[in-house]
Chain A
Amino acid sequence: MKTQIKLPIALIAAASLWLFADLQEAISLSQATYTGRVSAIVSLSSAGGQSGITITGPSIGARVTSTGGGTSDFAEIVDFGELSLGTGEPIVVNIGLMMRGNSTYKLNAANFNFIATNLQYKDIDVGPSGDKGSFITIQAGSPTPTGVRSNPQGSTVSGLFQAGVFLDEITQGQVDAQSTAITSGDSPSLGGTINSTDNAVLVPLRISVPTGLAIGPTSDAAKGIFQITLQVGIFPGG
């Protein structure tokens, strides 16, 4: 009889102990794993909107037209007019290049197209088979910021373009990652997007051509002409 009486009590005690042990498991853990990736973005655009070109030096009646611009590919066309009527001082066009990017980069240039007809420079014939633009000098200015998220300190202008390089000394053909470097360095931007106004690095490119009598037509021609196309491209890496 006593055994029958105490059995329910024993069961209650055992159940209580079991529950107590279970309740002591007071820790609960969960976790979240986050992943993401980034990719290299570099952009080159014209500084100053539709026209990134200013002309200094003697006014020869130069005309400037631009296509593209903003944050798109752009094309600038400069017609200097009659250079022989100039004062003898070089005429300089300043093209503003605006770079943005989140990776290291190279800004390269190439002499994409050079045409000269009946032209001589300092008594040397200038033409497709010979000189390819030794009378044209290209120089890059110091990088400057457009805002607080720009990183001009990360860019270095190449020695050639710091001192000024003649057109015939740079890579011929279409610009690519192996063309002559104008500048290179760390990411131009520290934030923002390709549309931000405060995250670009500006690099002025100065192109100068002689005026006056340093350049003229060949002996059997009344007029000489030249036309050049300079391509500039930005490439990630470098």
Chain B
Amino acid sequence: MYYKRYARKFLQSSLLLSLVFAYSIVYPGICPEAEGQSASVSITGQYGTFVQLSAGTPPAAGGRTVSVADKGTGCVASGSQPNNQAFGSSIDFGDLSKGDGEECPATIGIRLRSNSAFRLVASMSSFRCRGLRFQGKDVTDQDGGTFVHVWAGALSTTGANAASPSSVSVNSSFTGGTTLATLARGGCTASSTLICAAPAASIGGTSNSPDNALELPIYVSVPTGMELGPAPGTASGTFSFTVQFGTYTGP
């Protein structure tokens, strides 16, 4: 009898200790008064898509280079320095009639980061000209820039955490060159004219990393010399247009 009573108390004590031990694993430091309850820890996380468009490094100053020194047109460019923010650049080609007859290109540097599939698109958000002729024909606001050529340069990376340029699909219209008039009109949307797309622009880093961006130069050129001229009865003509660039998630 004595043996049986001793064995029953031993089993009861062991069970109680086991429960206390098990509970203290889940909630360390908790008193065993929670006998009979259970607990669990749920661990979750999410990774959202991220794409970023900012001014690139190749063009040196302000996100763009205007190679007009040999054109004699007095081109001036201004805008934000290369950074991680959206940019607004302004390029004044000057008096193109005084140029050397060759095309005058201005380069915009585009810097791309993303952790997901993205597409870089462009649209012509505004086009305005006054008293302008191209190859002897009047140019109106509806022309949209048949005299302006647009093309994309060679892709490059800022470092080892950028995706391979070979993974980027560039619209053949931009590799071969197109005119401004072929771009989508209005504000930039996801369905604007595609420049390039890729599964990702970055394979590591953050939105501030110096080594994880793809860079794409976009060239915009206009004629110089006598290809453009003022409309009849005017001594000069002008034009102004704005190209918007946008990055969107998805292929």
Contact = CB atoms under 8 A, between A and B. Distances in A.
A231 interface: no
A26 interface: yes
A31 B226 contact: no
Interface in A65-88: none
A28 B188 CA distance: 10
B244 interface: yes
Interface of B: 27, 30, 39, 41-42, 44-55, 64, 73, 79, 86-101, 106, 108, 110, 116, 118, 125, 132-133, 135-136, 148, 188, 190, 220, 222-223, 225-230, 232-249
Interface in A12-52: 13, 16, 19-20, 22-24, 26-41
Contacts of B98: 39, 41
Interface of A: 1, 5, 9, 13, 16, 19-20, 22-24, 26-41, 100-104, 149, 151, 154, 186-187, 189-194, 196, 199, 236-237
Given A102-B226, A103-B235, 18 more contacts: A23-B46, A26-B247, A31-B242, A32-B243, A34-B91, A34-B242, A35-B238, A37-B95, A38-B236, A40-B234, A101-B226, A102-B97, A191-B101, A191-B226, A192-B225, A193-B226, A194-B226, A237-B235
Given A28-B52, A151-B136, A35 B92 contact: yes
Nearest to B84: A28
6 contacts: A29-B86, A33-B88, A38-B96, A101-B229, A149-B226, A191-B225
Contacts of B27: 5
Given A28-B53, A30-B87, A32-B243, A100 B229 contact: no
Q: Is the interface of A mostly helix, strand, loop or mixed?
A: mixed
A41 B224 CA distance: 12
Contacts of B30: 1
Contacts of A189: 226
Given A20-B48, A29-B245, A191-B135, A237 B233 contact: yes
Nearest to A1: B30
Given A32-B88, A191-B135, A191-B225, A37 B236 contact: yes
B216 to A, nearest CB: 12
A37 B236 CA distance: 7
A35 B91 contact: yes
Nearest to A32: B89
A16 B220 contact: no
Given A39-B236, A40-B235, A193-B225, A33 B89 contact: yes
The 5 A-B pairs of least Cβ separation, nearest first, read: A23-B48, A102-B229, A36-B93, A28-B53, A102-B226
B226 A199 contact: yes
B228 A38 contact: yes
B244 A29 contact: yes
A1 B235 CA distance: 85
